[in-house]
Amino acid sequence: MSTNQSTIETILDLAKQKIESELDLSNIDSGTKFENYVTLVIQEISNNYGISVIQTGVQSFPDIVIGETFGIEVKYTKSEKWESTGNSIFEGTLRKEVTDQIYAFFGRKVGKKIEVIHRYYEDCLADIKVTHSPRFFLNMEVGSGESILHKIGITYEEFKAMNSLEKSKVLKDYVRSTLGEGESLWWLDEEESVSPRVKEFRKLQEHKKQDIIAEGMALFPEVFSNSSTKYLNLSVYLLQEYQIVSSSLRDVFSAGGKADIEVCGEPQIIPKVYGKLYVNAKKIERILSEIELDKLQEYWKGHGADVIVNEENKVKIWQELIDNLAVSLPEGLNASDIFKAGLEE
C-alpha cells in the first residue's frame, strides 16, 4: 500500500486501539516511556504496510517520522486535562524531511490504562505559553476551527514556510489583539537574549536612572495622568527589556513635591514629574527620534493615537498625548509647553 495520508491515519487509529486495549500499562509512567512505547507500537503496525518509522530524538520535532514525510508529535499526561506544552513557535528543530501532515498523538494515564486522542497538530494549537521562549500550547479538545492558526487565518503550511521573524510577528500581533485591560505582551524572540540578573532601579547609576525616566516618559505618556495604574505598563516594560525592578516607580517620577521652572519667560511651580520632563526634554527628543515606529505604535495605541505614526509626526503626536493626559498643571500651561521649554535650555 502506498504512503498517503489515509494510510497514516489508519495506522494511528490502529495504534490507538491497541494502546487503549491494554489492561495494564502501569510501567508507562512518563512522557519518555510513552514516546518509546508509541514508537514500538507504530513500528509494528507500519511493518504490515511496508512503511518506515524513525524516532527522531529529544532535540527534534516531531518525535516520530513515519512514511518518510509525515510526522507524529507524542504527548503524555497524568492529568485529567488533554493539555500540554508544545513545540517552540520558531520550530528551529523541525525535521526538514517532514513536508506532509504532522499529527499530535496524546496519551492520558487513567489508572493502569492509557487513553489516546490523535489529531492534526495544527488543529490543537490552542494558545501560546512563554517558558524561556514562546511555545505552542496544545489542547486536544479545542473546538474545530478554534486553533490559534485558524483564528489568525493562516494554514500550518503557510506558517511553517515563514522565517522566525515572520512567525514571531504574526503571533505577536494576534496575542496583542487579545490582551485585556492591564495586560501586556511578555515575549522573547528566538534571536533575543536577556540577562538572568535582575537589577534594582534604586541601585542604578544616576545617568542610567535619568535614561530610564526619559524612555518611560517617551513610551508611556500615561505617567502624566492620574490613573491608579499609570506605572503598570512601564514596570512590565522595564522588567522585559532591562530586567530592572522598582518597588515604587511613583516615587521615581513624582517624589520631591514641586519643581520651579521658567516657561516662556514666566516662572512656574509644577509637580515634580513635570520638572523631570523639563530636565530630560532633550533626551526624550533623542529617544523619540531613534525609537522604532512599531514600538511607538504599540505602546501609544491605548491613548487614542489611532493615526499612523511616522518619522515626521511622532514628536507631534507624543506632545498631543501628554497634553491630553496631563493633570495638576497651572491653568493655561500644557505639558508640551514644558517639554519645549526644556529643549531650549
pLDDT-derived band at 36, boundaries 50, 70, 90: very high
Residues 6+ apart with CB under 8 A from 45: 11, 14, 15, 18
pLDDT at 115: 97
The helix or strand, by DSSP H or E, that contains position 267, with its residue range, turns out to be strand 266-271
Cell digits of residue 36:
518509546
Domains of the chain: 5-178 (3.40.600.10), 199-344 (no CATH)
User: For the chain, what's the residue count?
Assistant: 345
What is the pLDDT, as a whole number, of residue 192?
Answer: 55
Question: Percentage of the chain surpassing pLDDT 70?
Answer: 92
Residue type, 31: G
pLDDT (tens digit, 9 = 90+) per residue, 72-97? Answer: 999 999 888 899 888 888 887 889 89
Tens-digit pLDDT profile for residues 149-203: 999 999 999 998 898 888 888 988 888 788 776 566 666 565 555 555 678 998 8
Look at phi and psi of residue 257 and say left if phi exceeds 0, alpha if psi is from -120 to 50, else beta: left
> What is the reported pLDDT for 307?
67
- 127: CB partners within 8 A, 6+ apart: 136, 137, 139, 148
Q: Residue 1: which pLDDT band, with cuts at 50, 70 and 90?
A: very low
Q: List, as one string, the DSSP characters of 12-45.
A: HHHHHHHHHH-S--TT--SHHHHHHHHHHHHHHH
283 to 111, 212, 254, 287: CA distances (angstroms): 64, 10, 18, 6
Closest CA to 43 of 73, 65, 75: 65
List the single range of 29-33, 80-84, 194-198, 272-276 with lowest mean pLDDT: 194-198
pLDDT tens per residue, range 104-115:
999 999 999 999
Amino acid identity at 94:
L
Taking 80 as the threshold, does the pLDDT of residue 306 lie above it?
no
Q: What is the pLDDT of residue 270?
A: 92
| pLDDT in the model for residue 92 | 79
Is residue 59 predicted with pLDDT exceeding 80? Answer: no
